[in-house]
Amino acid sequence: MKTANEPIIQIRNVYKYFKNDIQALRGVSLDIFPGEVVMIIGPSGSGKSTLLRSINRLEKIDDGDIIVDGLSVTHHEDINALRLEVGMVFQQFNLFPHLSVLENVVLAQRIVRKRSAEEAETKALALLDKVGIYEKASAYPLQLSGGQQQRVAIARALAMDPKIMLFDEPTSALDPEMIQEVLEVMVQMAKEGMTMVVVSHEMGFARSAADRCVLMDSGRIVEEAPRDELFTNPKEERTKQFLSKIL
């Protein structure tokens, strides 16, 4: 659909080994285009989180290359510039508990983007309004529910004006009734044309927002399919087997 010609993320034959010689990634290649929403699914230990975390170099890759908007994760000098273009949302939210919600969203804008206090706060409040946490701006993270914390985390990442957003199991640590409020924010972002890479098993999100689904197993990509086709009409035996367990 909204894909341009040039991929914004190029994952080229990536290998990653952990200390005990376990191969986390074994020759993964994937192109992601601007505005595309890609979902990565797979059993635990399949390397999906490792792949996602490699895109902004929270994990170092051992071979191959990942190029994000012309910047390579293997070039050390590029890394802070690269991370500015890539927002990340974690399973455990990772808000800064010593700072208020507003300060969480303001901090990196001030010291990394060098924005004025006024500009950063205006931007933060607008984003908090967007994710529906405006009234809680002066609260502290530990006073919020998981769903609220995750929405703040999304606002915090968006405040840096990233071109790409990565989601590492954003709803896995949430109580069921809070998953929806987070997914709604994510679907909204997808509609606005944000490039998103999402590690998650949320069928609802796949149906309403994903452009492409990727199944990983044992450090490899097993199957790729547009929209929720992977869920509804899998081709590979491994995919069927995995889906029969999670659905």
Partner 1 sequence: MSNKTKNDASELIAGKIAKLPQAGELSAIDAWWGLVAVVFLGIILLVSLYPDPYARILSFVQDGVIVTILVTISTFLLTMVLGLICGLGRVSKNKFVYGLTSVYVEVIRGIPLLVQLLVWYFAFPAIVVRIGAALNFRPFQQYLANPIMMAIIGISICYAAYMAEIVRAGIESLPVGQMEAARSLGMTKAQAMRTVILPQAYRTIMPTIGNEFISLLKDSSLVSVVAVADLTRRGREFMSTTFMPIETWLMIALLYLLMTLISARIAKIVENKTKLEK
What is the rounded CA–CA span in Å between residue 120 and residue 122?
Answer: 6
User: Is 71 among the residues that bind partner 1 (CB under 8 A)?
Assistant: no
Contact residue for partner 1 among 16, 156, 201, 212 (CB under 8 A): 156
By CB under 8 A, tell whether 241 contacts partner 1: no
Q: Which of 167, 214, 194 is nearest to 28 (CA)?
A: 214
Between 75 and 235, name the residue whose CB sits nearer to partner 1.
Answer: 75
Q: Is 172 in the site for partner 1 (CB under 8 A)?
A: no
Q: Is 176 left (phi over 0), alpha (psi -120 to 50) or beta?
A: alpha
Bridge pairing between strands 63-68 and 9-17: antiparallel
Report yes or no: 87 and 162 within 8 Å, Cβ to Cβ.
Answer: yes
Q: Which of 52, 61, 95, 127 binds partner 1 (CB under 8 A)?
A: 95
d(CA 167, CA 183): 11
196 part of the interface to partner 1, by CB under 8 A: no
**Residue with Cβ nearer partner 1 (198 or 230):** 198
Place of tokens 């080994």: 17
Residue with tokens 């509609």: 191
Exactly one of 15, 58, 224, 238 binds partner 1 (CB under 8 A); that residue is 58
Provide the binding-site residues for partner 1, judged by CB under 8 A: 56, 58, 80-81, 83-84, 86-88, 90, 92, 94-98, 100, 107-108, 111-113, 140, 142-143, 153, 156-157, 160
